[in-house]
Structure 1
Amino acid sequence: MKKKWFLGLAFLASLIMVSACNHQSPSKETSQTSSSSSSSVNDSSSDLSQLTKDTQRIGSDDYGYVNIPKDWVTFHDVNGGDDIQYSDGTDINIISLNTITAEKAGVKDLSEISAEEMANRFYVGWESKKEVTKQIAGSRTTIAGNVAYKITILTQQGKIMLIWVLGTPDKKIYYISLEGTKAALVHVLPLIEQTWSTSK
Structure 2
Amino acid sequence: MMKNKILLGSVTLLSALMVAACGNGEKKTAEPAAAPTTEVAKETTAAPTTTAPTTTAKTTTPGTSSETKKVSLEDTQRVGKDNIGYVNVPKDWVVFKASNNPDNFYYSSPDQYNIMYLESYSKDKVKLNDGETFGAELIANRLLNGVKNDKEQTSVQGVKADFAGEKAYLIKATFSDGKTMFEWILQKGDIVYVVSIEGTEDMVKSLRPVFEQSWGLNAKTPGQ
TM-score (norm 1): 0.74
Structure 2, unpaired ranges of 5+: 1-19, 35-44, 55-71, 220-224
Output the CA distance in 2 between the equivalents of 1:171 and 1:165: 13
Q: What is aligned with 1:100?
A: 121
Contact 1:25 1:194 in 2 (8 A): no
**Which of 124, 131, 137 in structure 1 is aligned with 2:157?**
137
The corresponding residue for 1:31 is: none
Cα 1:151–1:10, aligned 2, differ >3 Å: closer, same or farther?
A: closer
Residue of structure 1 in register with 2:176 after alignment? 156
Letter in 1 for 2:208: L
Shift of 1:75: 0.5
Q: Check if 1:195 corresponds to 2:199.
A: no
- CA distance in structure 2 between the partners assigned to 1:199 and 1:10 by the alignment: 31
Residue 198 (structure 2) pairs with residue 179 (structure 1): yes
- 1:146 CA displacement: 1.6
Instruction: Measure how far apart 1:104 and its partner are.
Output: 3.5
Distance 2:120 2:84 in 1: 5
The answer to whether the 8 Å contact 2:183/2:194 transfers is: yes
**What is the 5 A alignment of 1:1-150?**
1-4=20-23, 8=29, 10-11=31-32, 25-27=46-48, 48=52, 50=54, 51-80=72-101, 82-107=103-128, 112-133=133-154, 135-150=155-170
| 8 Å Cα contact 1:98-1:175 kept in structure 2 | yes
Cα distance change on mapping 1:192 and 1:80 into 2, 3 Å:
farther
The superposition leaves residues 26-59 of structure 1 with CA deviations (integer Å, 9 ceiling, x where unpaired) of 44xxxxxxxxxxxxxxxx66x5375311100000
Q: 1:103 and 1:89, CA in 2 relative to 1: closer, same or farther beyond 3 A?
A: farther
Q: TM-score, normalised by structure 2?
A: 0.67
Describe the SS at the equivalent of 2:52: helix
The unaligned stretches of length 5 or more in structure 1 are 14-23, 28-43
Which consecutive aligned stretches of 4+ in structure 1 deviate over 4 angstroms post-superposition? 4-7, 9-13
